């Protein structure tokens, strides 16, 4: 993609530097200034002792050109980072996987020659790995974190890896900073904690000095970072890619995944309690759904646009910290992915699967996004370290399902037995040896490149606040409230006041109301650092598509309802409510004080699937409590039953009940939206309607 016509190349300036040794003023990467005591004049160097002049920008061909392989500083830094740990992944260590297939709705030959998008009759096998980013392999599932959403397509033309997240943007604009952002969020190296948490000084120190992270931090502090289930979260390719058709015409594209079950997240209080009750909550949820035949399904969407349209945007499509609002470029749903088989062996498949953004097929191509350009090197380098050598593609989970032939030989873990005397090309000794194919082979799309090798960030990347403001203005009031609470929690745990005040200064540039809420809660009135942005933010038209809630129609499908039974309960009501829950495509889990079950009003024992002490209401999407007089009295005296009901009410869930006046009084249950007496006028149907709605945020607002 040629440089934007509106931008003039410029030499590196002080604005593109992060910290200068010996200076009392610190320049943020986006141009804002901070006061800081004079650091020691110790130059940053390579491992060979070479002083580094710019640790913010990769070397590229012109301001917006591709990253150059010549950049030995980038390669050294990324290589060292990739090899820090083995065999666990440095990032995305904790994951869960599933097999399935992808099927297009219609042929997309007009825009891409990719075979897997060309024939709606063809099902392409896939393997998907969901993950958290920051935590180690043994960390809990419900940490506040980005979720990985990586899909390996085993196409007829080779493997295509779409390596994305559940958030459409990223923290940084240039891959050179990737080791820094991950080092900052990982456990602090001198103390080895916190684990799988961002509420600590090193993370916020880095973020507060990198204004390009402001958009991403809005997403990570939102409910998007604590999803209810892998089955109920969106996925994004993050970067701008290219589509190429048979005629060689190229267009830009952004990739999207939309869950059939809709979006759903938990509340922070729920996340904390779920981590204690079931640290494997997401893994278990995915496994059990597939095992039960409730196959997760996602639609595959494309945002397609050309260079002329890209030039008109108020942001740069090569900037991974920006979204393209769907109001500007609608998402076309072009196919579906169904996950219908659990792994047979967790290590052999979920742990050994190797995703690389560089794994493409004809009809797709890269953009010059500097974050993507670095990932093309980094992921392959990581697999060489993690999986022991260059033959990781021969592992069953990574092996293409189409024929593959080349002349590469030997190496550690070689599992093939190549025959013949020829291992080079061209050759005349083996006429049947594989040859390059101009007709079928991958060809890089034609695009002009110009410019001198420079370490500089394009001016078109310099607006760090407008889209952060756009996201906050676009989400619903409950989401805004939760985002503010997350910031209060995270910033309130910092030991260093200067970092907290610097971050508050950024919030003032994003939204005054948000900043005032956080400042007031922290008692920092009048203390926020004044930050001057490199480019003044502008108000963009809100994008409802960025919301988590209200995007999908109400549904109970795929959810889980906890049905707590007390002695003497009405069996007819229980059977009716369970039947209607299952008719909605949801699962009813029968809970009792003891795992053996509970007796109904006629004295018949009904087996339980779960014991109350091991089944807090936080692991369910809605709850029902049924009991007779004896059972009600016993439940009211049981702290587990009281907290079961209190938490369900506090977390704004639908609650159905019958015959529990004592328990209701003990738990402080009041007549509110979503609280349904099953014996009353609304009855079971009223509860089902409430459970479809999911949350009743007006109950939270009243507190």
What is the DSSP code string of 315-382? S-TT-TT----TTTSPPEEEEEEEEEE--S-IIIIIIT----TT---TTEE----HHHHHHHHHHHHH
Q: Residue 17: what pLDDT? A: 34
**Residue 481 burial (10 A CB sphere; 0-12, 13-18, 19+):** middle
Beta bridge partners of 335: 104, 300
Q: Residue 19: what pLDDT? A: 31
Domain final residue, candidates 513, 546, 579: 546
**Residue 673 burial (10 A CB sphere; 0-12, 13-18, 19+):** middle
Do 342 and 291 contact (CB within 8 A), yes or no? yes
Whether 150 maps to a domain, the answer reads no
Whether 514 maps to a domain, the answer reads yes
Whether 366 maps to a domain, the answer reads no
Q: Residue 40: what pLDDT? A: 54
Do 400 and 158 contact (CB within 8 A), yes or no? yes
pLDDT digits (tens, 9 = 90+) for 154-168: 999 999 999 999 999
Residues 596 and 538 in one domain: no
Residue 509: CATH number of its domain: 1.20.1370.20
Residues 673 and 570 in one domain: yes
Ranges of residues in the chain whose predicted pLDDT is under 50: 2, 5-27, 37-38, 703
Residues 588 and 645 in one domain: yes
Q: Which two three-digit tokens encode residue 4?
A: 């934007």
Whether 422 maps to a domain, the answer reads no
**Residue 14 burial (10 A CB sphere; 0-12, 13-18, 19+):** exposed
* Number of residues in the chain: 703
Do 193 and 112 contact (CB within 8 A), yes or no? no
Whether 587 maps to a domain, the answer reads yes
- What is the number of domains present in the chain? 2
Kindly provide the b/e burial profile for residues 59-86, where b requires at least 16 CB atoms within 10 angstroms of the residue's own CB: bbbbbbbbbeeebebbbebbbebbeeee
Nearest alpha-carbon partner for 237 in 153, 341, 148, 158: 148
Tokens 């979260």, residue? Answer: 233
Listed in sequence order, the residues at least 6 apart from 651 whose beta carbon sits closer than 8 Å to its beta carbon are 267, 269, 270, 617, 618, 695
State CA 381 to chain mean position distance: 23
Whether 619 maps to a domain, the answer reads yes
pLDDT digits (tens, 9 = 90+) for 23-73: 344 445 555 555 554 455 788 887 777 788 888 899 999 999 999 988 988
Whether 404 maps to a domain, the answer reads no
Listed in sequence order, the residues at least 6 apart from 417 whose beta carbon sits closer than 8 Å to its beta carbon are none
Whether 437 maps to a domain, the answer reads no
Beta bridge partners of 104: 335
Q: Residue 25: what pLDDT? A: 46
Residues 527 and 589 in one domain: no
Residues 690 and 585 in one domain: yes
Do 264 and 552 contact (CB within 8 A), yes or no? no
Residues 580 and 535 in one domain: no
Active site residue 393: no
Q: Give rounded-to-5 percent helix, strand, coil for the chain.
A: 30, 20, 50
Residues 518 and 567 in one domain: no
The maximal CA–CA distance of the chain, rounded, in angstroms, is 91
Range of the domain at 539: 462-546
Domain final residue, candidates 483, 514, 546: 546
Listed in sequence order, the residues at least 6 apart from 158 whose beta carbon sits closer than 8 Å to its beta carbon are 359, 361, 400, 402, 404
Nearest alpha-carbon partner for 581 in 641, 650, 656: 656
Domain final residue, candidates 546, 577, 609: 546
Residues 565 and 692 in one domain: yes
Do 30 and 15 contact (CB within 8 A), yes or no? yes
- 92, 215, 282, 464: the active-site residue: 92
Q: Residue 39: what pLDDT? A: 53
Residues 542 and 566 in one domain: no
Residues 643 and 575 in one domain: yes
Q: Residue 85: what pLDDT? A: 66
In angstroms, rounded to a whole number, what is the distance separating the alpha carbons of residues 179 and 207?
Answer: 13
DSSP letter for each residue of 533-572: -SS---PPPP-GGG-SSSSS----TT-EEEEEE-TTB-HH
**Residue 422 burial (10 A CB sphere; 0-12, 13-18, 19+):** middle
Nearest alpha-carbon partner for 48 in 16, 80, 85: 80
Residue 661: CATH number of its domain: 3.40.50.880
Residues 534 and 662 in one domain: no
Q: Give Cα separations from 435 to 246, 406, 423, 454 (angstroms).
A: 21, 8, 12, 37
Active site residue 165: yes
- 29, 57, 165, 263: the active-site residue: 165
H/E segment holding residue 242:
strand 241-244
Residues 583 and 695 in one domain: yes
In angstroms, rounded to a whole number, what is the distance separating the alpha carbons of residues 298 and 216?
Answer: 24
Question: What's the pTM value of the predicted model, to 2 decimals?
Answer: 0.90
Q: Residue 82: what pLDDT? A: 84
């Amino acid at each position: 993609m040629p440089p934007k016509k509106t931008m003039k190349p410029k030499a590196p300036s002080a604005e593109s530097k992060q910290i200068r040794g010996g200076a009392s003023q610190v320049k943020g990467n986006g141009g804002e200034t901070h006061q800081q005591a004079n650091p020691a004049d110790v130059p940053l160097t390579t491992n060979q002792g070479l002083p580094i002049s710019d640790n913010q920008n990769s070397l590229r061909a012109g301001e917006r050109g591709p990253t150059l392989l010549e950049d030995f500083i980038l390669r050294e830094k990324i290589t060292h980072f990739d090899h820090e740990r083995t065999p666990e992944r440095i990032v995305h260590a904790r994951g869960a996987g599933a097999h399935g297939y992808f099927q297009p709705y219609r042929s997309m030959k007009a825009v891409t020659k990719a075979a897997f998008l060309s024939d709606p009759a063809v099902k392409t096998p896939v393997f998907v790995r969901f993950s958290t980013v920051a935590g180690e392999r043994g960390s809990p599932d419900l940490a506040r974190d980005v979720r990985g959403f990586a899909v390996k397509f085993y196409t007829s033309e080779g493997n295509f890896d779409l390596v994305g997240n559940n958030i459409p943007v990223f923290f940084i604009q240039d891959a050179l900073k990737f080791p820094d952002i991950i080092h900052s969020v990982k456990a602090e190296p001198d103390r080895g904690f916190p684990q799988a948490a961002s509420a600590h000084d090193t993370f916020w120190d880095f973020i507060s000095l990198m204004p390009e992270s402001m958009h991403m931090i809005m997403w990570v502090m939102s409910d998007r970072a604590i999803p209810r289930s892998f089955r109920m979260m969106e996925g994004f390719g993050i970067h701008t890619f290219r589509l190429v058709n048979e005629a060689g015409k190229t267009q830009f594209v952004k990739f999207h995944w939309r869950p059939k079950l809709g979006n759903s997240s938990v509340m922070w209080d729920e996340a904390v309690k779920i981590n204690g009750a079931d640290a494997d909550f997401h893994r278990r949820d995915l496994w059990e759904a597939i095992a039960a035949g409730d196959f997760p399904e996602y639609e595959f969407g494309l945002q397609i646009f050309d260079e002329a349209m890209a030039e008109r945007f108020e942001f740069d499509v090569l900037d991974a910290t920006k979204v393209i609002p769907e109001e500007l470029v609608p998402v076309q749903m072009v196919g579906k992915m169904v996950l219908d088989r659990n792994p047979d062996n967790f290590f052999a498949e979920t742990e050994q699967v190797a995703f690389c953004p560089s794994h493409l097929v004809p009809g797709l191509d890269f953009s010059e996004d500097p974050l993507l350009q670095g990932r093309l090197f980094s992921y392959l380098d990581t697999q060489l370290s993690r999986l022991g050598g260059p033959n990781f593609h021969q592992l069953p989970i990574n092996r293409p399902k189409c024929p593959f032939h080349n002349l590469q030989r030997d190496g550690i873990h070689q599992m093939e037995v190549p025959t013949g005397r020829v291992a080079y090309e061209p050759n005349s000794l083996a006429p049947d040896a594989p040859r390059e194919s101009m007709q079928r082979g991958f060809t890089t799309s034609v695009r002009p490149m110009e410019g001198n090798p420079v370490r500089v960030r394009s001016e078109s990347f310099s607006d760090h606040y407008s889209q952060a403001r756009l996201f906050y203005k676009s989400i619903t009031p409950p989401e805004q409230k939760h985002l503010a609470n997350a910031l209060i929690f995270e910033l309130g745990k910092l030991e260093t006041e200067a970092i907290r005040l610097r971050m508050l200064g950024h919030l003032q540039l994003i939204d005054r109301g948000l900043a005032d809420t956080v400042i007031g809660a922290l008692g920092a009135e009048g203390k926020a650092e004044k930050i001057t942005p490199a480019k003044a933010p502008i108000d963009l038209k809100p994008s409802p598509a960025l919301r988590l809630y209200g995007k999908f129609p109400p549904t109970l499908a795929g959810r889980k309802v906890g049905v707590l039974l007390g002695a003497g309960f009405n069996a007819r009501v229980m059977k009716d409510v369970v039947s209607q829950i299952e008719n909605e495509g949801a699962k009813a889990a029968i809970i009792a004080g003891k795992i053996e079950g509970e007796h109904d009003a006629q004295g018949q024992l009904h087996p339980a699937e779960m014991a109350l002490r091991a089944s807090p209401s936080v692991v369910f999407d809605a709850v029902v409590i049924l009991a007779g007089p004896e059972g009600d009295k016993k439940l009211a005296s049981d702290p587990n039953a009281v907290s079961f009901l209190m938490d369900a009410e506090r977390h704004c869930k639908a609650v159905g009940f019958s015959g529990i006046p004592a328990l209701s009084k003990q738990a402080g249950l009041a007549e509110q939206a979503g609280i349904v007496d099953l014996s009353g006028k609304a009855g079971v149907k009223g509860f089902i309607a409430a459970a479809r709605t999911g949350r009743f945020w007006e109950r939270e607002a009243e507190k």
